[in-house]
């Protein structure tokens, strides 16, 4: 019988040694997505602005970010900006993730806003409501609900993309796996543990986002 050249029995004993690294992964993902949400909302509104210069700036930002790899953007933030100011690895990873995800989130928000019937804005304007207030009170609440499913997908993508932070020495899961593998020469076993951790976290996030989506559907019916 063929036996795998890996000792899978070490996985249970080594699994929880990755707990602290998993916390770092969640930390940079959370703050990166939070920053990305703020950047994305601003960029989406700017993209839809009637001011041509503002719309052009936001389009350029989205074009540049979506057209270049996250790893390149991460290196630019960490290595490029250090000539101006010293930035630690974790803040660098958060900034890069926020900057990167902001472009994709901007497109999610833009699509959600444009999916709202334009008649609602026209009705609000006909009642004397300023465009900014109509956007804030009528359009954005509906757009946010429609944006939840794609935002959930983007959150999961951001969680997996956070593994690139290992290239700038952020002590997250992937770096922990490489370190444990090099010290024990059990690379496959260690990376299997990393994969299990990611699978658990993405499954939990998928469940939470699904519950939020279902809750919003219920509130719409009510």
Express each pLDDT in 104-126 by its tens digit.
999 999 999 888 888 887 787 77
Query: Does the pTM of the predicted model rise above 0.85?
Result: yes
| pLDDT in the model for residue 80 | 87
Average pLDDT over residues 193-201: 96
| pLDDT in the model for residue 2 | 44
Residue 4 has pLDDT above 80, yes or no: no
Q: What would the two tokens of residue 219 be? A: 């509130």
From the options 1.10.1060.10, 1.10.1370.30, 1.10.3720.10, 3.40.630.30, give the CATH code of 22-171.
1.10.3720.10
Other CB atoms closer than 10 Å to residue 60's CB: what's the count?
Answer: 10
Q: What would the two tokens of residue 6 be? A: 């890996």
């Amino acid at each position: 019988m063929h036996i795998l050249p890996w000792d899978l029995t070490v996985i249970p004993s080594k699994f929880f040694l990755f707990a602290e690294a998993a916390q770092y992964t969640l930390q940079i993902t959370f703050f990166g997505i939070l920053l990305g949400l703020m950047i994305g909302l601003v960029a989406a509104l700017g993209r839809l602005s009637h001011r041509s210069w503002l719309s052009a700036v936001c389009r350029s930002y989205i074009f540049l970010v979506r057209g270049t790899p996250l790893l390149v953007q991460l290196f630019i933030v960490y290595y490029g900006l250090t000539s101006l100011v010293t930035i630690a690895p974790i803040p660098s990873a958060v900034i890069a993730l926020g900057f990167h995800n902001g472009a994709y989130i901007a497109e999610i928000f833009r699509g959600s806003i444009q999916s709202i019937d334009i008649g609602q804005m026209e009705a609000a304007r006909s009642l004397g409501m300023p465009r900014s207030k109509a956007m804030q009170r009528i359009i954005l609440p509906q757009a946010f609900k429609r944006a939840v499913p794609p935002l959930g997908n983007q959150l999961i993508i951001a969680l997996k993309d956070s593994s690139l932070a290992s290239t700038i020495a952020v002590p997250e899961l992937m770096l922990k796996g490489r370190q444990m593998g090099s010290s024990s020469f059990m690379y496959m076993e260690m990376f299997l543990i990393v994969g299990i951790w990611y699978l658990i976290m993405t499954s939990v996030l998928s469940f939470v986002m699904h519950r939020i989506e279902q809750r919003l559907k219920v509130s719409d019916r009510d």
